[in-house]
Structure 1
């Protein structure tokens, strides 16, 4: 695929869209540009951290030796009321030795230490080794480098200072962690006083972002890997949970959520997490005063050994010193070992434990300063919360004050600041019900609580919708980065397209005039990363089509719902066709052709629809025959015989016949791609298409006055771009409707009305012509039908059917391992397309493909 096949990420994401006509706020766009700055080897840096930790351990042991000889240890408290804030000369001496050596070896490295920074001491500026850690077992890690500016080293010279002061030396550790763009990737845990060893042991681990394991090892005391130690409890019927002696009520609630067979109190943040890596325990909980330097190093070690760490609510810890909330892990820490789910009697993994905690009202008090008083503690609003999703792109919970300001600013045109704001949001609730955790995005509904009783009458919404794409946190995105990097590039562009489209006021005004409902965009935060696409992040705060307002989604569309949806799409298509835009030129108060179409051009894909050839691997065009013969024919053999007997042996050649025309129908269905010469016939049909009009992206609300009795709202515009309207209409029939809409009887077997799809396309064409007449593109619907004919619409539909079948057969059915059994298992899915969850729909797709191929061959 050529580079022209995509909108360049920077071109899409760094564009500042026009200010809203009714609100003085511009879209916030933050771009991380590609860079040629020096890069650092992670393995070499980790080796230096191991060497530095040895120096730190030596300083700690030296202080202990002097203490043993004199019987005294000088210490103070940073917080007079907190024994955990003890500070000794071991802390300052160890940090001085570590930081000076690291700075001498890596002069430009960003280092964050627990103790206050001191001027560098030249006498301690020794070069550290860079070849200590053997990562040869993992070539990707061995060759791994990152821009130096994207790395931060966190140093806790003495983790467990309180334990050191009290003489519990086995709990004392020296921690040095390496974070890459906020993710803990390398960790060194120095044990100055290890059990059964005369010298310090330095444990290290490294794991790439998103990896479920990595490489670990140990140096000193005869160890070569994380020493496996005896279990902390004799309990053999469940989890061992380690925690501190805090009496905090929220921490107690978290312990109850774990339901461990044994709760064991041990000191030191790093010691607790290391207990999971070395086999002593299975779950670790930490109080709300630990800092990033407490968790960075042990998280990396635990991740290298297959474990996982988040805050108590399941969101990743962000090891970034500039993050909102500062350096404190104010939402606690939950860590689990690699084997926790195997040991737990209920088989709960890390995600399940975090979900349990999100459902506990006692833990909602942690969110009070972010979400407001409306969802803090108590038993009101029973049910789990999606508080792991409702996070800003820097990891902190979304602030109610920010949500309110964005909404009021958009709707009222006010700055919405302090006492001048016409309305104030008291808080919000993010219920788990209605949340969406997808392969490439997460989203949740925010139930809004406004101060005073006049907000509703003033037009303030009761809910909003928050959609977040943090690619680095999504397993599917990381897999795609390795196996299909071009698709990841496409996905990054798609997130920017949706934000750009929804933030374009002239476009939304035109749709509103046409009676097409799309959500208003209250805020769009785009943070692309050109030099590492997987680190790109996007967030949208949108108007919500809420159930409380009568909106709903259907698993598959009924006949009336399908017609209503086709009507909405036809109105949208008519709005952006050249003749319609030209008809508006010079009309007072309306948008002229140049302004509207240039705004659209700057916001969307030059050619819409995710399945178009420019957005798919080229081999889809050449592998259809083999995939059909080797995969789909065997998988659906019995279904074809039972449900499509009329096809006979013709079913065997569908893959071959489709492959023969795949290139031609792809070009015919998507004639507006970059670098393509647009055929003359296509120019008058060029319009804006949704590009993924599946049932999950269509909201419906009963309305007797609306077409077909349904008001339609469209969402998810990631694949919005220029195209042929019939492509959207074909997608509705192929992917979104129930079998009865396609003419099947209630048993989903007998095809009692085979003309039903034709009638749906008739309906679409009629609605398109009426909309073109209504917006001035034609003098009447009849004259519109003479210009944009039903026959040509049918030809476009048929090409679209074949083109879409190409991506179904060559990719989608392969990816989901489609079979009658898999379709049955997916029957209740809301998000999957019809041919992946209904055998009747799947058979109709095959039947329609065969019919169109035969018609094309006979022409």
Structure 2
């Protein structure tokens, strides 16, 4: 597990480098910001580039983990398909090739005629990452890579990444929007049980260097395997009532109304499912509530593993409310799992977290949230 953890962290750092490069390198930034202005052709091309950036990051992670752990090949899933159709209608399978030059040639077939952009991305995909984190060397948990699988979200909160606002006006540590919510998420789960056992969240846009003004990132990790619970994050202190809950601004009015009754003025709103779960992990919020099925396995697997390492988790909201209303107080609340697609669904919906979720660290705050929602009419 120590080797796997370091490999996942390294992959997340390379992914974060690529995400920053697409905003810092002028040839790439021109493609990225074209979505906001310009003629139809520019908008279409920038949308293609946005998808390419996501796909390339995902394929870099898949390549690097598969190269170090062949047992994982075929068991690394993600949000994006690696097939990309360029502006000429040609379909290209994006992948990391044996050399920088061949990768640049492949990417050039997508980005033609922008050769410089293709070369920048290819160089980033092949760049070695050196970790200077002694804490990673001290992790001694052992788990066979052949027993686990991986979910990747290459850039969570992509819209915030594209818009690129730098100051979201954080309140109590929670920014309602902005680049800070664009995260790289890599989660590892047991193939047999579907339980998340290792997660890494990388923040590529944590802060700007005060002198160079270049973006600096940071990462967080957690392991919850058998009796071992380790994390780079210190467990938040016991919460004080009322609970602090973070939501999406698109959340249903009935959910908002129910939670206002117990939260009062401590209800907060933010973009990005991964970012809202990170707010819970870091102790800025006590819970993240989502009533709909708009998140997926790749959104929640990595944060869920870290929350488990801290003593919390992510419960399936719909199933938890059914159990509470049925009076099954002694039954363990249903946690999300990641190994089985939803029956009857197709495409990405096969991996949707149907029925919503609640992410938490402290069980008593989870109980307060579920009690309020169970009593609300129409939920």
Fold shared, TM-score > 0.5 on shorter chain: yes
Q: What are the within-5 Å matches in structure 2 for residues 568-647 of structure 1?
A: none
* CA deviation after TM superposition for structure 1 residue 116, in Å: 0.3
Q: What are the within-5 Å matches in structure 2 for residues 42-57 of structure 1?
A: 42-57=1-16
* CA deviation after TM superposition for structure 1 residue 192, in Å: 0.4
* CA deviation after TM superposition for structure 1 residue 248, in Å: 2.9
Residue matched to 1:113: 78
2:358 counterpart (327, 331, 334)? 334
2:281 counterpart (277, 281, 296)? 277
- Paired residue secondary structure (1:157): strand
1:232-289 deviation per Cα after TM superposition (whole angstroms, max 9, x unaligned): xxxx862221111114356436645754541111111111111111121111113421
User: 2 CA distance for matches of 1:243 and 1:258?
Assistant: 14
Which has more radius of gyration? 1
* 1:98 and 2:61 correspond: yes
1:309 counterpart (303, 306, 314)? 314
* CA deviation after TM superposition for structure 1 residue 96, in Å: 2.2
* CA deviation after TM superposition for structure 1 residue 357, in Å: 3.0
* CA deviation after TM superposition for structure 1 residue 122, in Å: 2.3
Residue matched to 2:216: 199
User: 2 CA distance for matches of 1:108 and 1:216?
Assistant: 25
Query: Quick one: structure 1 residues 174 and 122, their matched pair in 2 at CA, closer, same or farther if it must change by over 3 Å?
Result: same
1:336-377 deviation per Cα after TM superposition (whole angstroms, max 9, x unaligned): 233xx6xxxxxx4324533543454422xxxxxxxxxxxxxx
Q: How many residues align?
A: 288
- Paired residue secondary structure (2:186): strand
1:518-559 deviation per Cα after TM superposition (whole angstroms, max 9, x unaligned): xxxxxxxxxxxxxxxxxxxxxxxxxxxxxxxxxxxxxxxxxx
Q: Decide whether the 8 Å contact of 2:13 with 2:129 is kept in 1.
A: no
Query: Quick one: structure 1 residues 104 and 274, their matched pair in 2 at CA, closer, same or farther if it must change by over 3 Å?
Result: same
Q: Decide whether the 8 Å contact of 1:103 with 1:125 is kept in 2.
A: no
Residue matched to 1:62: 21
* 1:179 and 2:184 correspond: no
Query: Quick one: structure 1 residues 152 and 131, their matched pair in 2 at CA, closer, same or farther if it must change by over 3 Å?
Result: farther
- Paired residue secondary structure (1:108): helix
Query: Quick one: structure 1 residues 70 and 309, their matched pair in 2 at CA, closer, same or farther if it must change by over 3 Å?
Result: closer
Q: What are the within-5 Å matches in structure 2 for residues 399-414 of structure 1?
A: none
Q: For structure 1, which runs of at least 5 residues remain unmatched after alignment?
A: 1-41, 77-85, 218-224, 229-235, 342-347, 364-859
Residue matched to 1:189: 201
User: 1 CA distance for matches of 2:359 and 2:265?
Assistant: 16
User: 1 CA distance for matches of 2:54 and 2:188?
Assistant: 19
User: 1 CA distance for matches of 2:148 and 2:194?
Assistant: 8
- Calculate the TM-score normalised by the size of structure 2: 0.65
Residue matched to 1:507: none
Query: Quick one: structure 1 residues 72 and 227, their matched pair in 2 at CA, closer, same or farther if it must change by over 3 Å?
Result: farther
CA RMSD of aligned residues (A): 3.6
* 1:300 and 2:305 correspond: yes
2:141 counterpart (126, 140, 143)? 143
* CA deviation after TM superposition for structure 1 residue 174, in Å: 0.3
Q: Decide whether the 8 Å contact of 1:186 with 1:300 is kept in 2.
A: yes
User: 1 CA distance for matches of 2:157 and 2:136?
Assistant: 29
* 1:318 and 2:337 correspond: yes
Q: What are the within-5 Å matches in structure 2 for residues 731-770 of structure 1?
A: none
Query: Quick one: structure 1 residues 264 and 355, their matched pair in 2 at CA, closer, same or farther if it must change by over 3 Å?
Result: closer
User: 2 CA distance for matches of 1:294 and 1:282?
Assistant: 19
Q: Decide whether the 8 Å contact of 2:313 with 2:335 is kept in 1.
A: no
- Calculate the TM-score normalised by the size of structure 1: 0.31
Residue matched to 1:160: 157
Q: Decide whether the 8 Å contact of 1:44 with 1:131 is kept in 2.
A: no
* CA deviation after TM superposition for structure 1 residue 196, in Å: 6.0
* CA deviation after TM superposition for structure 1 residue 302, in Å: 1.9
User: 2 CA distance for matches of 1:75 and 1:295?
Assistant: 30
Residue matched to 2:90: none
- Paired residue secondary structure (1:285): strand
Q: Decide whether the 8 Å contact of 1:104 with 1:127 is kept in 2.
A: no
User: 1 CA distance for matches of 2:273 and 2:157?
Assistant: 7
Residue matched to 1:357: 373
Q: For structure 2, which runs of at least 5 residues remain unmatched after alignment?
A: 36-48, 84-92, 99-124, 165-177, 210-214, 321-333
Residue matched to 2:242: 238
1:691-725 deviation per Cα after TM superposition (whole angstroms, max 9, x unaligned): xxxxxxxxxxxxxxxxxxxxxxxxxxxxxxxxxxx
User: 2 CA distance for matches of 1:336 and 1:290?
Assistant: 16
